[in-house]
Chain A
Amino acid sequence: MRRVVVTGLGVVSPNGSNIPDFLNAIQNGVSGIKFVPHYEEFKFNCQVSGVPEFEWDDLKNYINETSLYGLKAKGIGLGIKAALDAWTDAGNEIVNEETLWETGCIFGSSVADMDFIKSSTSKVDAKESRKLGSRVVEQLMSSGVTAYISGRLGLGNKVISNSSACATGTQAILMGYEYIKHGMAKRMLVGSSENIDTYVFATFDSMRVLSRKFNDQPEKASRPMSITSGGFVPGSGAGALIIEDLDFALARGAKIYAEILGGSTNSGGQRNGGTMTAPSGIGVVRCIQDALVDANIDAGEIDLISGHLTATMADKFEIENWIKALGRSGEDFPVVNSLKSMIGHCLSAAGSIETVASVLQIAHQFVHPNINLEDPNPGIIDLITENNLPVTMVSKEINLVAKANFGFGDINCCLIISKYNK
Chain B
Amino acid sequence: MNRERILNDLKLVIAPYTENKAMLNTISDDTDLICDLKINSANLIDIVIEAESRYHIEIDADVIEKMTRVGNAIDIIIQKTNQAA
Q: Which residues of chain B are near A65, meaning CB under 8 Å? A: 16, 19
Known: A134-B42, A134-B43. A66 touches B49 (CB 8 A): no
Contact of A66 among B40, B45, B53 (CB under 8 A): B40
Q: How far is the CA of A13 from the CA of B58 in the complex (A)?
A: 45
Query: How long is the Cα–Cα vector from A66 to B45 in the complex, in angstroms?
Result: 14
Q: Are A134 and B18 in contact (CB under 8 A)?
A: no
Chain B interface residues toward A at CB < 8 A: 16-19, 39-40, 42-43, 45-46, 49, 52-53, 58
Q: How far is the CA of A69 from the CA of B45 in the complex (A)?
A: 14
A residues with a Cβ closer than 8 A to B are 64-66, 69-70, 130-131, 133-135
> In terms of DSSP, what is the predominant structure of the interface of chain B?
helix
In Å, the complex CA distance between A282 and B42 comes to: 50
**Contact (Cβ within 8 A) B19 A66:** yes
Q: Assess A69 versus B49: contact at CB under 8 Å? Given A134-B42, A134-B43.
A: no
CA distance A65 to B58 in the complex (A): 28
The chain B residue with its CB closest to the CB of A135 is B46
Q: In the complex, what residues of B have CB within 8 A of residue A64's CB?
A: 19
**Distance in angstroms between the alpha carbons of A69 and B39 in the assembled complex:** 13
Residue ID in chain B nearest A131 by CB atoms: B49
Q: Can you spell out 28 A-B residue pairs with CB atoms less than 8 angstroms apart?
A: A64-B19, A65-B16, A65-B19, A66-B16, A66-B17, A66-B18, A66-B19, A66-B39, A66-B40, A66-B43, A69-B16, A69-B17, A70-B16, A70-B46, A130-B49, A130-B52, A130-B58, A131-B53, A133-B45, A133-B46, A133-B49, A134-B40, A134-B42, A134-B43, A134-B45, A134-B46, A135-B43, A135-B46
CA distance in complex: A131, B46 (Å): 8
Cα–Cα, bound, A130→B42 (Å): 14
A69 CB contacts on chain B under 8 angstroms: 16-17
Q: Which residue of B lies closest to A138 (CB)?
A: B42
Contact residues in A for B49 (Cβ distance below 8 Å): 130-131, 133
Alpha-carbon separation in the docked complex, A70 to B43 (Å) = 10
Q: How far is the CA of A70 from the CA of B39 in the complex (A)?
A: 14
The 5 A-B residue pairs with the shortest CB-CB distance, nearest first, are: A69-B16, A134-B42, A133-B46, A134-B45, A133-B49
For A134, the closest partner residue in chain B by CB is: B42
CB-defined contacts of A135 to chain B, threshold 8 Å: 43, 46
Q: How far is the CA of A36 from the CA of B32 in the complex (A)?
A: 49
User: In the complex the two chains form, what is the Cα distance from A135 to B52 in whole Å?
Assistant: 17
Chain B, residue nearest A132 (CB): B49
Contacts of A66 in B (CB 8 A): 16-19, 39-40, 43
Enumerate chain A residues within 8 angstroms of B16, measured Cβ to Cβ: 65-66, 69-70
- 4 new A-B contacts, CB < 8 A, other than A66-B39, A130-B58, A134-B43, are A65-B16, A65-B19, A130-B49, A130-B52
User: What chain A residues lie within 8 Å of B43 (beta carbons)?
Assistant: 66, 134-135
B-chain residues with CB within 8 Å of residue A70 when the two chains form the complex: 16, 46
Q: How far is the CA of A88 from the CA of B18 in the complex (A)?
A: 26
* Docked CA distance A131–B18 (Å): 20
Report how far A414 CA is from B58 CA in the complex, Å.
Answer: 55
Tell me which residues across on chain B come within 8 A of A133, comparing CB atoms.
45-46, 49
CB distance from B63 to the nearest CB of A (A): 13
Write out the residue numbers on chain B whose beta carbons fall within 8 Å of the beta carbon of A130.
Answer: 49, 52, 58
Query: A133 to B45, alpha carbons, bound, how many Å?
Result: 6
The residue of chain A having its C-beta at the shortest distance from the C-beta of B39 within the complex is A66
Which residues of the other chain, B, contact A134 by a CB distance below 8 angstroms?
Answer: 40, 42-43, 45-46
Which chain B residues lie closer than 8 Å to A131 at the CB level? Answer: 49, 53
In the complex, A32→B39 CA distance in Å?
Answer: 41
Tell me the smallest distance from the CB of A61 to a CB of chain B, in Å: 14
Chain B residue with Cβ nearest A133: B46
Chain A contacts for B42, CB-based, 8 A: 134
CB distance from B57 to the nearest CB of A (A): 12
Q: How far is the CA of A66 from the CA of B19 in the complex (A)?
A: 6
**In the complex, which residues of chain A have a beta carbon less than 8 angstroms from the beta carbon of B58?**
130
B19 / chain A contacts, CB cutoff of 8 Å? 64-66
Shortest beta-carbon distance from B44 to chain A in Å? 8
* A64 vs B16: C-alpha distance when bound (angstroms): 10
- In Å, the complex CA distance between A64 and B46 comes to 17
**Distance in angstroms between the alpha carbons of A16 and B46 in the assembled complex:** 36
Q: How far is the CA of A273 from the CA of B19 in the complex (A)?
A: 56
- How far, in Å, is B18 (CB) from chain A's closest CB? 7
